[in-house]
Structure 1
């Protein structure tokens, strides 16, 4: 049996553009900091974002930074500390460890760039972001996702993997003053929606694409062919997250509206399959409870999957949140569960 959680809305913030990625800083000292990325496709004839006589971007975005203080019962817990207008943002991920003693936020943009922002102390104790490094993945492509190799807190040989709209993956190495492409390869026939490290073996990378395929890659063996290809999902694979608490456990989500749990040692058959009633844009394991998995579902709000039985007994995880129809998408909502 699943639980029925009691959720209530604490605050709603109008992001104006579509909010498609939100990330709490995973480093304890800065765990009160929240980043939110937005995306908007400009339609032909939409002149509000254009200036006369200039070439306008077809996709625009905005990066928001918030500080959270849930102590007061009278003041909204989220306070906007910064906003940065930019190209459309497809993904955000914080590095799991400080770099040069500061948190680092990675951003994948519609301009084909991976940008890294350093978190700094701004005025009156609030937080701010400052662009540190950026690199271009190549011409005529959108950067669609990124992930860090630091999920187990490993701070040596920090790397980033990114996927893009040409179906390619790019492995990047973070140096003291640069972000350098180590290799780039064609991984999927169509858009490579998602790329992710195995946090337990950072020589292993997973990817998912609009060709409905989930693939694994061993970086030690080169990238000419995957170590496995699964066609278990029936539509584009758009979310992958390695469980940071349980070795070999992997969660994947797809436009086919299903969340699959896998044992990475046997990709022939998933451990479980759960229908969540909406395309699974992002998945996130709970930072401290290994059996809780959050799914951001297109057209069906969010679901929290209780996976304890699935991990222990190969049984199906159960949703524990009541769904609320998601009709307003230009907003950031803070929930208490």
Structure 2
């Protein structure tokens, strides 16, 4: 039997000090060797009084900006302190010639950063608070509308711990909240655009519901799917294959959907652990990178949708593997680093605050 762990070899590892939950590579040349890793740390302070004990909780975060090169290895350029980060995504295309990073946090905020020309620093462009309620709200996920269609005024969709979905519009350095609606009974773990038609928005929640919305007809879902056996945690539209969307769930299954028939999935595969993040590869969109929490990180070959199979496994993360992303750099760049393989991955895990950069041998990258 093939040892799938041999297909992924570690290049660098790094102790992020605080719990790590997200890795995202910049998609734009010449900074495709640049990435961010985010932290989420819950700190508790106890105040003991004569009659009671009060526990004060602070959700602390950071965004760490790194690069990798053959000469300098893994290099930390900047640490941005902020409220605890739940998710972050680079805008797929440049906005007004700048690389933009969207970050959502535990303080009800969506913040947009710009990467400087040298790729060594993040500048805060704008921040929007999505909830005026005094109770705690964690913004859990975000996605940009630019998976296929470039825009200098893109939209952002995000989800929160109250089950709400928020639609925002970036215009210049102004981020405006356009609409908010309640979608799920419990946490809305994920919201994502259908890249082929960004009027279509998907969401997944802890109520096990996979919902499809159409902005043109209001805020009620146009389809409700109950196929997932537990919370829906990840949704990613395929930018090369129209109608194809992947979902991941706490029920340990990856499912592939045809948006023309949302009653049941095209195919599914049981993974070695509960899903948190799914990412189509940025090259041909034939492989999925899956962060499976306590079950490791894995790569699925989805060229034949009916016969999906795991082709790479990574078990360096001994704790909850939340973050996973593909580096956009080509094979020529990857060849500068030791070992076989034509693609580079970034992954991170939570309580052991471990960031790993590795090399995958098993995908055709030009």
State the TM-score, normalizing by the size of structure 2.
0.83
1:335 paired with 2:328, answer no
1:322 paired with 2:318, answer no
Superposition deviation, residue 324 in structure 1: 1.7
Deviations 1:193-244 (A, max 9, x none): 0000001000000000010000000001111x10101111111111100011
Describe how 1:18-167 pairs up with structure 2 within 5 A. 18-45=19-46, 58-69=58-69, 71-72=70-71, 75=72, 77-121=73-117, 125=118, 127-138=120-131, 139=133, 140-167=136-163
Distance in structure 2 (CA, Å) of the matches to 1:231 and 1:43? 37
Check 1:99–1:248 CA distance in 2 against 1; reply closer, same or farther (3 A cut).
same
Distance in structure 1 (CA, Å) of the matches to 2:88 and 2:44? 24
Describe how 1:148-227 pairs up with structure 2 within 5 A. 148-223=144-219, 225-227=220-222
Distance in structure 1 (CA, Å) of the matches to 2:35 and 2:152? 25
Check 1:87–1:270 CA distance in 2 against 1; reply closer, same or farther (3 A cut).
same
The match for 1:51 is: none
Say which of 244, 265, 268 aligns to 2:263.
268
Superposition deviation, residue 88 in structure 1: 0.6
- Partner of 1:16: helix, strand, or coil? coil
Q: How many residues were matched structurally?
A: 317
Check 1:323–1:334 CA distance in 2 against 1; reply closer, same or farther (3 A cut).
closer
- Partner of 2:224: helix, strand, or coil? strand
Superposition deviation, residue 322 in structure 1: 2.9
Superposition deviation, residue 325 in structure 1: 6.0
- Partner of 1:266: helix, strand, or coil? coil
CA contact (8 A) 1:299 1:325 kept: no
Distance in structure 1 (CA, Å) of the matches to 2:91 and 2:119? 20
Say which of 242, 249, 273 aligns to 1:278.
273
Distance in structure 2 (CA, Å) of the matches to 1:59 and 1:289? 38
Worse-superposed segment, 204-213 or 17-26 = 17-26
Check 1:197–1:126 CA distance in 2 against 1; reply closer, same or farther (3 A cut).
closer
Superposition deviation, residue 321 in structure 1: 1.2
Deviations 1:238-296 (A, max 9, x none): 11000111111000001111111111111111111111121111110000122111001
Check 1:272–1:44 CA distance in 2 against 1; reply closer, same or farther (3 A cut).
farther
CA contact (8 A) 1:94 1:104 kept: yes
CA contact (8 A) 1:3 1:320 kept: no
Distance in structure 2 (CA, Å) of the matches to 1:306 and 1:179? 37
The match for 1:250 is: 245
Check 1:2–1:80 CA distance in 2 against 1; reply closer, same or farther (3 A cut).
same
The match for 2:15 is: 14
- Partner of 1:163: helix, strand, or coil? strand
Alignment root-mean-square deviation, CA: 1.9
Q: Which runs of 5+ in 1 are unaligned?
A: 47-54
CA contact (8 A) 1:19 1:39 kept: yes
- Partner of 1:40: helix, strand, or coil? strand
Larger relative contact order (CA 8 Å, sep ≥ 6): 2
- Partner of 1:102: helix, strand, or coil? coil
CA contact (8 A) 1:300 1:326 kept: no
Distance in structure 2 (CA, Å) of the matches to 1:96 and 1:234? 31
Distance in structure 1 (CA, Å) of the matches to 2:119 and 2:74? 12
State the TM-score, normalizing by the size of structure 1.
0.90
